[in-house]
């Protein structure tokens, strides 16, 4: 195990220094202008919120195929933003583009800008390892490492040089993920001995152990039973006090239960099946009074 200083691939010197301080969003440059206020249905503004992601004209291509049309909207701090839409509409492509998980996919190309606290995530000087350390991700299928429960949580902090009080860090992460009480006595057991729901909470604990700023959840409950799903949803309601959460779900009830804001994507039939953002608004508006007829059809179950 090396100290971060030895790891040349972590990026230029300036970034490494940044990487070693405890990340607090307040310390990062915020956009100069106050966050634009999303209008409620009647035009009444919501409370002013910090913008975490400012997505401008984002388009994604895999080779020659466009997967996601030009998408523009903002994701606000300490809110749960749900991304909903039918299968194949680019939900996963969208969320995986926020922490550069698509970089490894051959032919991946992105246009427009993804500004994270004002910094372009795809900027030339940006190190994607650093991006992912701040923007954590939990996947559809629980993917604990074949290590002990403890080592699953401690692995990433160790890599990042957060060695002090590792035990306390592990306990804190597990507590925040509402798993501590269940695994307290068996931290040395293999993580694969946990149930599916526990494994998924372990993956959430693993993601928050490195103190990210944002949690991206890509259909985190779709492989789980209703009881485990409920516990994950409870967890999201608690976690949004500390983190900004973006969740992809194909389950509209889930979006209605946990999200503060909803972005509805669909397949644009006119443009060669490209995923498109149809509407982004707060949850109430999307479900009770959507502006776009396609949104209404989808949330009322007439489509998709």
Partner 1 sequence: MSALRLRLRPRAAIGAEAARAGRTGDRILFALCAGAGLLAVFVLGEVVYQVISGARPAISKFGLGFLVHSRWAPNFSAFGAAQALVGTVITSIIALSIATPLGIAIAVYLAMMAPPAVRTVVGPLVEMLAAIPSVIVGFWGLIVFSPFVANHIEPALHNVLGFMPLFGAAQTTGFSLLTAGLVLTIMVLPIIAALSRDLFLTVPVELTEGAAALGATRWEIIRGVVLPTTASGVAAATVLGLGRALGEAIAVLQVVGDGTGIHSSLFQPGETLAARIANEFTSPESKLHIPSLFYLALILLVIGLVTSVLARMIATRFDVHRSLA
* Contact status: 156 vs partner 1 (CB under 8 A): yes
CB 263 within 8 A of CB 98: no
**Cβ closest to partner 1, residue 40 vs residue 158:** 158
CA 88 to CA 247: how far, in whole Å?
16
Site for partner 1 in 21-40 (CB under 8 A): none
**Cβ closest to partner 1, residue 160 vs residue 224:** 160
**Cβ closest to partner 1, residue 116 vs residue 139:** 139
Site for partner 1 in 53-112 (CB under 8 A): 99, 101, 104, 106
Backbone angles phi, psi at 86, to 5 degrees: -70, 170
**Cβ closest to partner 1, residue 35 vs residue 177:** 177
Alpha-helix runs per DSSP H in 178-264 = 180-183, 196-208, 226-239, 252-258
Which one of residues 77, 91, 201, 206 is an interface residue with partner 1 (CB under 8 A)? Answer: 206
CB 200 within 8 A of CB 232: yes
CA 183 to CA 205: how far, in whole Å?
12
Angle (CA) 147-148-150 rounded to 5° is: 125
CA 285 to CA 260: how far, in whole Å?
10
Site of tokens 């440059």: 29
**Cβ closest to partner 1, residue 210 vs residue 263:** 210
Name the minimum Å distance from CB 103 to partner 1. Answer: 9
Name the minimum Å distance from CB 129 to partner 1. Answer: 5
Site of tokens 């644009």: 268
* Contact status: 126 vs partner 1 (CB under 8 A): no
Which one of residues 117, 132, 240, 294 is an interface residue with partner 1 (CB under 8 A)? Answer: 132
Positions touching partner 1 (CB under 8 A) are: 7, 9-10, 99, 101, 104, 106, 129-130, 132-134, 136-137, 139, 141, 143-147, 155-156, 159-160, 190, 192, 199, 203, 206-207, 210
């Amino acid at each position: 195990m090396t100290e971060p200083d030895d790891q040349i691939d972590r990026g230029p010197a300036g970034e490494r220094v940044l990487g070693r301080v405890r990340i607090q969003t307040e310390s990062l440059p915020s956009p100069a202008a106050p966050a634009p206020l999303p209008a409620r249905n009647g035009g009444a503004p919501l409370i002013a919120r910090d913008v975490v992601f400012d997505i401008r004209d984002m388009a994604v291509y895999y080779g020659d195929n466009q997967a996601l049309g030009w998408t523009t909207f903002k994701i606000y701090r300490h809110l749960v933003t749900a991304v909903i839409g039918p299968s194949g509409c680019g939900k996963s492509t969208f969320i995986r583009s926020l922490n550069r998980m698509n970089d490894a996919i051959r032919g991946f190309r992105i246009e427009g800008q993804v500004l994270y606290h004002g910094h372009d995530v795809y900027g030339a000087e940006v190190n994607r390892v650093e991006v992912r350390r701040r923007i954590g991700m939990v996947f559809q299928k629980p993917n604990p490492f074949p290590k002990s429960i403890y080592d699953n949580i401690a692995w990433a902090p160790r890599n990042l040089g957060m060695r002090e009080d590792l035990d306390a860090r592990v306990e804190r992460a597990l507590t925040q993920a509402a798993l501590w009480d269940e695994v307290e006595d068996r931290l040395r057991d293999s993580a694969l001995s946990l149930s599916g729901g526990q494994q998924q909470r372990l993956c959430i604990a693993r993601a928050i152990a490195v103190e990210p700023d944002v949690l991206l959840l890509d259909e985190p409950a779709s492989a789980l039973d209703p009881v485990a799903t409920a516990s994950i949803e409870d967890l999201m309601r608690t976690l949004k006090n500390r983190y900004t959460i973006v969740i992809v779900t194909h389950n509209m009830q889930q979006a209605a239960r946990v999200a503060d804001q909803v972005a509805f994507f669909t397949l644009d039939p006119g443009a060669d099946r490209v995923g498109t953002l149809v509407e982004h608004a707060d949850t109430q508006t999307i479900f009770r009074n959507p502006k776009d007829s396609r949104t209404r059809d989808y949330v009322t179950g007439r489509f998709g």
